[in-house]
Amino acid sequence: MAPPPKRGRGGGARGLEYISLDGLRVDGRLHTEVRKIRCSLGTLSRADGSAYYEQGNTRVLAAVYGPREPTGRDFEHDKAIVKCEFSTAMFASTARRRTWKGDRKSTAAAIVVQRLFEGVILLAEYPRCQIDIYVQVLQNDGGTLVAAVNAACLALINAGVAMSDYVVACSVGYVDNTFVADPNSLESGSDRPELTLAITPHSGKICSCQLVSKLADDASFESAMQYATAGAKQIFQVLEYEVKKYSLGLLDSRGMVAL
Amino acid sequence: MISEDVYRKVHPKEYLKRFIDKDVRPDGRAVSTARYLRLTIGSINTAVGSALVRLGNTTVLAGVNATLIRPNNANPDKGIVEVSVELLPTASGESRNVRGEEAVVLAEFLRTLIIPHIDVSTLCVEADKLVWCLSLTVYCIDHDGNLEDSVVLAAVAALRNVRLPTVRMVDGDEGGDIENGIENTRMIDADNEAEEGNESIMAVVSSKRTESLELDNFPLTVSFQLFCEKALIDPSAEEEVVCVSRVTFIMKPTGDMRGILKEGGHILSPKLYNSCLAQSKERVKEYMKKLQAGS
Is residue B81 within 8 Å of B118, Cβ to Cβ?
Answer: yes
Question: Which stretches of chain B score pLDDT less than 70?
Answer: 171-201, 295
Phi/psi-derived region of residue A49, left when phi > 0, alpha when psi is between -120 and 50, beta in every other case:
beta
List of residues 6+ apart from A51 with CB closer than 8 A: A39, A40, A41, A42, A43, A61, A62, A151, A152, A154, A155, A158
Mind telling me how many Å the CA of A215 is from chain B's nearest CA?
A: 30
What is the pLDDT confidence band of residue A16, given thresholds at 50, 70 and 90? low
The band of A180, judged by pLDDT with boundaries at 50, 70 and 90, is very high
pLDDT exceeds cutoff 70 at A45: yes
pLDDT at B295: 66
Helix A144-159 to helix A221-253 angle (10° resolution) is: 30
Q: Do A139 and B45 touch (CB under 8 A)?
A: yes
Helix (H/G/I), strand (E/B), else coil: A184: coil
Considering chain A, what is the average pLDDT of its residues? Answer: 88
Q: What confidence tier does A200 reach under pLDDT thresholds 50, 70, 90?
A: very high
Specify the pLDDT at position B208.
Answer: 77
Q: Is the dihedral of CA A112, A113, A115, A120 positive or negative?
A: positive
Of B57, B144, B190, the CB nearest to A96: B190
Minimum Cα–Cα distance from A51: chain B residue: B90
pLDDT at res. A199: 96
pLDDT average, residue stretch A157-175: 95
Question: CA A167, CA A198: separation in Å to the nearest integer?
Answer: 6
Question: Which neighbouring-strand residues pair with B86?
Answer: B139
> Distance from CA of residue B207 to its chain's centroid?
26
Judging contacts by C-beta atoms under 8 Å, the chain A residues touching residue B46 are 57, 91-94, 139-141
For chain A, where are the alpha helices, taking DSSP H only?
104-120, 144-159, 221-253
Nearest Cβ partner for A91 among B50, B88, B92: B50
Q: Measuring CA to CA, how many Å separate B251 from each of B173, B220, B260?
A: 51, 5, 9
Of A135, A82, A131, A91, the closest CA to residue A109 belongs to A135
Cβ atoms A43, A51 nearer than 8 A: yes
Q: Is A208 exposed, middle or buried (0-12, 13-18, 19+ CB in 10 A)?
A: middle
Instruction: Sort strands B80-87 and B130-142 into parallel, antiparallel or unpaired.
Output: parallel
ipTM score: 0.84
Domains by residue range for chain B, with CATH: 4-162+213-294 (3.30.230.70)
CA distances from residue A37 to A127, A225, A249, B43, B65 in whole angstroms, order as listed: 35, 21, 20, 17, 26
- A50 lies within 8 A of chain B by CB: yes
> Given the DSSP bridges, would you call strands A168-175 and A178-181 parallel, antiparallel or unpaired?
antiparallel
CB-CB: which of A43, A91, A132 is closest to B44?
A91
**Chain B residues with beta carbon closer than 8 angstroms to that of A86:** none
3-state class of A30 per DSSP? Answer: coil
| Domains present along chain A, CATH in parentheses | 37-253 (3.30.230.70)
Q: Say what the pLDDT of residue B188 is.
A: 45
